Amino acid sequence: MLKLEFVQPIRDKKKIDTVKKILLSKSVRDYCLFTLGINSGLRISDLLNLRISDVVDENDKIRDRITLREKKTNKTKNFPISDVARKAIIEYLKTRNFEFDEPFFLSKKQNNGKAPLQRDQAYKIINNAAREIGITEKIGTHTLRKTFGYHAYKSGVAIEVIQKLFNHSTPSITLRYIGITQDDLDEVYLNLNL
């Protein structure tokens, strides 16, 4: 049985935009992490394990697609980079020098060489920005993935497609996972009005 974390997606698009602005004002890296996370649906472990070579080709151009092996499932994941994510990546890469084989999201704590940003630090970054704008629901690193799924569903993407993207076994697990609430379900009855 899939263990569901009880963090929530960010449901309000205005709050997403405000979180982006807060993160961008503090760190382009953190802004890029959040933006790529909510536009890819990747697990935080896969986001933090990205290498420059996953995102940039040998000619220092942003790739059209990211291909990686998921840490949790060991399955290959291949997806296109959206325009919004591409812009965030470009802005982030302008702020740093990089080598092809190093971590994409660098930790600011440089112990032995260039280390990737750690999960606990990513949690603090996301949680602090959410609290700063008054989000009181439980927010964590999984919020990025859940926000992607929630907004995909709300924009009309079939739950079965999101289920496949997330490698869930049933649509009901995906609905619970992305935080579809009774209010969301009631909206169907209230807004259909045939």
Q: What amino acid positions are annotated as catalytic residues?
A: 43, 72, 142, 145, 168, 177
DSSP symbol at 85: H
Mapped onto helix, strand or coil, the DSSP state of residue 138 is coil
Closest CA to 113 of 125, 101, 123, 122: 101
> SS3 breakdown of the chain: % helix, strand, coil, rounded to 5?
50, 10, 40
Note whether 13 and 39 are within 8 A (CB): no
Report d(CA 61, CA 127) in Å as an integer. 32
